[in-house]
């Protein structure tokens, strides 16, 4: 059976939006009719907590495993579903193993200098892993917690110059995202109150699946 996509959220720094993207993107893709499996490979267990907070997210299968066996579980799940993995905020063995089997490495980058440096380091690690792979993972950066600051354009240029594809959509800094976490939900389930966030996640899902 042909393997479906394994999208791994990867950074070497916490707080970049990995868990938010995994939960909300997973919900958006599931609502579009994709069979989705979420995997929480972060020892902090943030995606597991989000998933457990409400019935809407609980309808999406979740594997919670931060051990070195998680990559094999991801491969098995990818035989029948699209897999989204929330990795640790540092390059542990499990994260490296996941990077070796992912079809897409999605690197979130907040609009700040320190986050840009961390994203560049993540790109460097991902490129080193790719050199050893027969089938390369696609490296994609998505800007998160964005505002109207000119730094966003500067960071975009840096990421592109480092050899990663920077997605056209951006994820804004919106209060609806922590609200979704508290209720175990996602923008695609919350109607007009989450319309802007829903539009962002829909754009992200479209870019990743086209």
Looking at the predicted structure, is the pLDDT value of residue 2 above 60? Answer: no
Q: What is the pLDDT of residue 14?
A: 84
Q: How far apart are CA 62 and CA 65, in angstroms?
A: 10
16: pLDDT strictly greater than 80: yes
pLDDT of residue 182: 96
Q: Would the pLDDT of 1 be above 90?
A: no
Q: Domain residues of the chain, as ranges?
A: 6-209
pLDDT value for 105: 98
Angle CA 34–37–43, to nearest 5? 150
Checking if the pLDDT of 3 tops 80, the result is no
* Runs of H (alpha helix) within the chain: 18-31, 46-52, 55-58, 70-77, 93-101, 113-131, 151-161, 176-183, 195-209
Q: Residues 145-167: pLDDT tens digits?
A: 987 677 889 999 999 999 999 99
Asked if residue 112 has pLDDT above 80, the reply is yes
Res. 73: pLDDT tops 50: yes
CA–CA distance, 105 with 87 (Å, rounded to integer):
11
**Whole-number Å distance between alpha carbons of 152 and 79:** 37
Average of per-residue pLDDT across 188-194: 95
- pLDDT higher than 80, residue 130: yes
Could you tell me the fold of the domain covering 6-209? Answer: Rossmann fold (3.40.50)
**Model confidence, pTM:** 0.94
pLDDT in tens, 163-181: 999 999 999 999 999 999 9
Q: How many Cβ atoms are within 10 Å of 162's Cβ, its own excluded?
A: 18
Residue 55 has pLDDT above 60, yes or no: yes
Angle (CA) 115 84 131, round 5°: 65
């Amino acid at each position: 059976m042909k393997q479906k996509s394994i999208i791994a959220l990867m950074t070497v720094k916490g707080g970049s939006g990995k868990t938010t993207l995994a939960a909300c993107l997973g919900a958006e893709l599931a609502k579009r009719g994709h069979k989705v499996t979420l995997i929480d490979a972060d020892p902090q267990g943030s995606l597991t907590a989000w998933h457990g907070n409400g019935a809407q997210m609980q309808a999406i299968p979740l594997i919670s495993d931060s051990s070195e066996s998680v990559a094999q579980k991801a491969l098995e799940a990818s035989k029948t579903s699209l897999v989204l993995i929330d990795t640790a905020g540092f390059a542990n063995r499990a994260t490296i193993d996941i990077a070796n089997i992912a079809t897409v490495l999605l690197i979130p980058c907040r609009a700040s200098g320190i986050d840009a440096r961390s994203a560049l380091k993540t790109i460097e690690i991902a490129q080193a892993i790719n050199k050893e792979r027969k089938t390369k993972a696609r490296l994609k950066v998505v800007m998160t917690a964005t505002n109207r600051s000119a730094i966003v354009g500067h960071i975009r240029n840096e990421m592109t110059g480092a050899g990663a594809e920077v997605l056209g959509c951006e994820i804004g800094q919106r209060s609806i995202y922590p609200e979704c976490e508290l209720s175990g939900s996602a923008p695609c389930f919350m109607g007009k109150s989450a319309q802007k966030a829903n539009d962002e996640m829909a754009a992200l899902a479209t870019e990743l699946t086209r």
